[in-house]
C-alpha cells in the first residue's frame, strides 16, 4: 500500500475494484483544517473521468500496469491478435478493448498494449498514422476554391473527411486520437 504522497500523473490506482489512471493531482494545504490531495482520475476500462479527493497521507492501492510494444498481426472474428516484439508471444485482445483504434490499425503495425495481471486494458496507437485512401468521390474543378471537404474511405475501412483536392490512391496522415486529416504524404 502506498500513500497519497506517492501519487503522480500516470499512476494507476485500484479503487472499488476498478482501475483508475491519474490524469492530474494537486496537494492542497488550506489555512484551516487538514491537507488533502485533489485528483482527476480516468477509468482505465470505460474512459470515464471523475474528480476524487483524498486526505493527505491516507493509504491508496497503487497497482502496476505493464506497457509493452506489440505488433498487430490479424483480426480473429471480434478479437485482435498481437505479438510481443521481444518474446514473440502472441496475445488475443477483445474488440471491446481495441475499440475505435481498429479504424487506424494496419497489419504489422507496432502499438503499445497495457496489461494488468496478464489482462489487456487498452492499446495506444502512435499519435498519427499514414494510410491510403481506397475510395473517394472526385473533387469538382469549381469546388476547389471553397475549401470544403468530402468523405474518404481508408484502407482500414474507416471513413474520414478530407479536402476536395485529395484523390483516391493518395496516402494521407491521420490523427489517431480524433480521426482528423493532417495532410498528404509524398512517398
- The pLDDT of residue 1 is 76
Distances in whole angstroms, Cα of residue 87 to Cα of each of 49, 71, 124, 140, 172: 34, 11, 19, 51, 33
- The pLDDT of residue 92 is 93
The domains of the chain are located at 2-63, 67-124, 128-184
Entry pTM: 0.71
- Residues whose CB is less than 8 angstroms from the CB of residue 183 and which lie 6 or more positions away in sequence, other chains included: 172, 173
Same fold, 67-124 and 128-184: yes
2-63: CATH architecture: Roll (2.30)
128-184: CATH architecture: Beta Barrel (2.40)
Q: How many CB atoms lie within 10 A of CB 17?
A: 5
67-124: CATH architecture: Beta Barrel (2.40)
Answer for the pair 42, 11: CB distance below 8 angstroms, yes or no: no
Q: Give the integer Cα–Cα distance in Å for 53 and 19.
A: 16
- The pLDDT of residue 145 is 53
What are the pLDDT tens digits along the chain (187 aa)?
788 888 888 888 999 888 898 889 999 988 888 899 999 998 887 778 999 999 988 899 988 888 899 999 999 999 999 999 899 999 999 988 888 888 999 999 999 998 888 888 888 899 999 999 999 888 765 555 556 788 899 999 999 998 888 888 999 999 988 889 999 888 6
Amino acid at each position: 500500500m502506498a500513500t497519497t504522497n506517492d501519487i503522480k500523473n500516470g499512476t494507476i490506482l485500484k479503487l472499488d475494484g476498478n482501475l483508475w489512471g491519474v490524469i492530474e493531482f494537486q496537494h492542497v494545504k488550506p489555512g484551516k483544517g487538514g491537507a488533502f490531495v485533489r485528483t482527476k482520475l480516468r477509468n482505465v476500462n470505460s474512459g470515464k473521468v471523475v474528480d476524487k479527493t483524498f486526505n493527505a497521507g491516507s493509504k491508496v492501492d497503487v497497482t502496476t500496469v505493464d506497457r509493452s510494444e506489440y505488433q498487430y498481426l490479424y483480426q480473429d472474428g471480434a478479437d485482435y491478435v498481437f505479438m510481443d516484439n521481444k518474446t514473440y508471444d502472441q496475445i488475443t485482445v477483445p474488440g471491446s478493448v481495441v475499440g475505435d483504434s481498429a479504424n487506424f490499425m494496419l497489419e504489422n503495425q507496432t502499438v503499445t498494449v497495457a496489461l494488468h495481471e496478464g489482462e489487456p486494458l487498452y492499446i495506444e496507437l502512435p499519435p498519427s498514422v499514414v494510410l491510403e485512401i481506397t475510395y473517394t468521390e472526385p473533387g469538382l474543378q469549381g469546388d476547389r476554391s471553397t475549401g470544403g471537404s468530402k468523405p474518404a474511405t481508408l484502407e482500414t475501412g474507416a471513413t474520414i473527411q478530407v479536402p476536395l483536392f485529395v484523390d483516391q490512391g493518395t496516402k494521407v496522415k491521420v490523427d489517431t486520437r480524433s480521426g482528423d486529416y493532417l495532410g498528404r504524404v509524398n512517398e
